[in-house]
Every structure is written in structure tokens, then in C-alpha cells.
Structure 1
Amino acid sequence: MNPPIDSTPRDATPRLAFEPELLLAALDVRLLLLDVDGVLTPGDLLYGAQGEELKRFSTLDGHGLKLLMSAGIEPVVISGRDSPALRARSAELGLQHSVLGSGAKLPAAQSLLDQLELGWEQVAIIGDDWPDLALIARAGFSAAPPQSHAEVLARVSHITRAPAGLGAVREVCDLLLMARGAYAALLQDALDGKPHTPPPDSTKAGRPHDAISGTLAEPGAVLPSSR
């Protein structure tokens, strides 16, 4: 017979904090655009003996993206590169949208917003280099890992403390969850040993009622990359 589980509530006061102006800037975010190399990964390009591209992802970032989806904010991978490793990781996380192998990110992102009937003020972006600048210049909230290019660092709303591929994305996820007012409840669930599930008024596929759902577009072909 299993012993009873101690159900005494644990202190869910967040130990993490962000500046009020950052939370205010992220208040309306419904969509998070994610670059891959130098954001979701440390930025190294690794190739196997057969020429296959290898990528290293952080489980810390991955859990943050799942928490984000449970709170009704949709992550979208938008990358100039395409690879089986990236597709496998996106599928594993349950990401509903992706733009891969797109040399021009702005038209792809604008098409995404048009389809989902969202404005740029509802978009957050985390990027690290010049291909992300057009998105950073338009998004309501923007962030970059600390090793990003100087022109990016000078233009974003927030520079993460954590490095790329090692928690930078999780830091942005935590910030967006706090801005949305979902962080404390999710933290309480974790302390109580409950899975992070959508609220009771959620609908199909276990997604919150106000989450964006559907397929953005078929991933593009692999294009030459300068990175």
C-alpha cells in the first residue's frame, strides 16, 4: 500500500522577478517567434560523418515552451535553415507552426500574422543576428541572448542573462508567463505535483480556448545559409 501523499500547500511565491516595464511591454503577446541557431541552440553548426546536421537543444527551454503553450501563447520556429533534427525537436515539443528554410523572414512572419489575424504588438521575438532585425524592429516585445550581434543587442527590449541554448528561451518564456499572469499558478501546480494542464474552459486538442491553433504552412526547402 502506498503511503498518502502530503497535500499541504507549498509556498508558490515566485523567486524570479522581472522589471515592471518589461512585463508591461509583453502584456499583449500571443505569439513568440523563435530563431534557432544562436537562440534555441548555442549557435555551433555540427555535422556528422554523412553530412547530417546535428543540433543541441536545452530541456529547460523545451519545458518553458510547453508551459507557454499551456498558457495560450503560441511558439513559432522561424529559421533560415531546415534540418531533420530541428523538425524532430519541433514535433517532440508539439509546436503547431514553423517556417523553415525561409531566406526572408519578414514576408514569412507577415504571412503568418495575416493568417492568424494578429498584429505586431501581439508578437514577441527572440533572435541573435541581422536576419532577425526586421522582426525585432516590428515586434511588440523583443529579446536576445547575450552573445548576439551588437546591432541586435542595441535594439531589443531585453537581453537575457542565460546564454543561447542554455536557458535563454526559458527566461523569455518565464517573462511572458509572468506578463500573462500565468506563472504563479503554473508554479503552484509544479509544487503540488500536478501536470501543467490547460484551464477547465479549454477546448480541442487540450489547448486553451484562446490559443492559436492550426498549421501555418509547409516548411520551405533548405536554402543556402550564411550562418
Structure 2
Amino acid sequence: MNPLLTRARLIRLAAFDVDGVLSDGRLYYGEEGDALKAFGTLDGHGLKLLAATGVHLAIITARSSRLVEQRARNLGVEFLFQGVEDKASVLEKLLGEMGLEGREAAYMGDDVVDLPVMRRCGLAITVPEAPALVKRHAHFVTQAKGGRGAVREACELIMWAQGTLDGALAPYLR
């Protein structure tokens, strides 16, 4: 069995960074100082599909933003942690509350600040734009870029490994 698929098959919690993962990593500032981000609809639908299969979703990010709160709510993301300096500790606490082990969690990040949490998870995922060090510690590097389908690709990988992808896509093929 493919080691990547073996890891993905165990996932019960999938957590994601925001900047560079759910968005392309660029921040746009309005005249009032508000930061704007662009989120991909492909990624959003991927998260909804994955959640519908029973995998819990979380966002763990160092920045705080009302935009992220709104996006998480719109997508039905179950757990949202913003303004987090120690992402690995947040993950540990969440795993404990859920009664899960690290091998049952996936985390998708794009920079060195994500390495502690990525290294704690059974499935570490990153994007092609990530630094080489992050890629070396990832189990999977997406083909799609951050904010441009990378999250969708990660969600579909997990669903494929768990045998739920065809069922999730079946309603669109009638």
C-alpha cells in the first residue's frame, strides 16, 4: 500500500493555515487599514465535501481576521483558532478534546512557523511555493498553488484514500 494513502486513510481531523494555503498569501490593505484576502471557491467546495464525509475541519492561523471568521463560518469549519503563536499546542489540545491521536490529524501549512504542527500530524501537507525546508517535512506537496486549488487537492487526496471521493462527486455526475 502507498504510504501516503495509508496516512491519509487515518485522517479524522484536517486543519489548515490561512495565508499561503487557503489564500495565495498576499495581503491587500484598504485605505482604512483593513487587510483583504482572496479565497478560492474550489478550495471552499473541497472543504465542504470533506466535512460531509465526516472528517472534522479546523483552521489554525497566526493572524486574526474577521474575514477568516466569516469564511470559516460560511464553509462550516468546526474549529477556528486565530492569533495562535504555538499551533502545535492548539492542535494537541484539540486532539485531546476529540480523543484523537496525532496520526489521525492532517495539517496543511506553507512556512517554517507551521513545521511544529506539521511534524506532529500523521499527514503533513504543503504547497509548491513553500520553502524547501517545509517541503522536506511534508508528506505531500500539492500541484496547485496556495489559494488556487491546493486545499481542494488535499481534501480530494484524503477522500480518495478513505474511499469517499466517488460518493462525494456522484451527485454532480447524474
For the criterion TM > 0.5, the same-fold answer is: yes
* 1:39 corresponds to which of 16, 21, 31: 21
Higher helix content, 1 or 2: 2
TM-score by length of 2: 0.97
Q: Aligned runs of 1:193-208 on 2, under 5 Å?
A: none
AA of the residue aligned to 2:24: P
* 1:100 corresponds to which of 73, 77, 82: 82
Q: Aligned runs of 1:116-131 on 2, under 5 Å?
A: 116-131=98-113
Aligned partner of 1:179 in structure 2 is 161
Q: 4+ runs of 1 displaced by more than 3 Å?
A: none
SS class of match (1:125): strand
Q: d(CA) in 2 for partners of 1:98 and 1:176?
A: 20
Aligned partner of 1:212 in structure 2 is none
Q: d(CA) in 1 for partners of 2:111 and 2:141?
A: 13
Q: How high is the sequence identity, in percent, across the aligned residues?
A: 38
Q: Aligned runs of 1:77-226 on 2, under 5 Å?
A: 77-192=59-174
Q: Does 1:57 align with 2:43?
A: no
TM-score by length of 1: 0.75
Q: d(CA) in 2 for partners of 1:92 and 1:184?
A: 24
Instruction: Tell me if structure 1 keeps the 8 A contact 2:22–2:146.
Output: yes
Unpaired runs of 5+ residues, structure 1, are 1-18, 193-227
Instruction: Tell me if structure 1 keeps the 8 A contact 2:22–2:43.
Output: yes
Instruction: Tell me if structure 1 keeps the 8 A contact 2:7–2:103.
Output: no
Q: d(CA) in 2 for partners of 1:190 and 1:138?
A: 36
Unpaired runs of 5+ residues, structure 2, are none
SS class of match (1:33): strand
Q: d(CA) in 1 for partners of 2:117 and 2:86?
A: 11
Q: CA RMSD in A?
A: 1.1
Q: d(CA) in 2 for partners of 1:138 and 1:110?
A: 9
Structure 1 residue 21 displacement after superposition: 3.0
Matched residue count: 174
Structure 1 residue 20 displacement after superposition: 3.4
Instruction: Tell me if structure 1 keeps the 8 A contact 2:61–2:82.
Output: yes
Name the larger-Rg structure: 1
Structure 1 residue 150 displacement after superposition: 1.3
Structure 1 residue 107 displacement after superposition: 1.1
AA of the residue aligned to 1:142: A
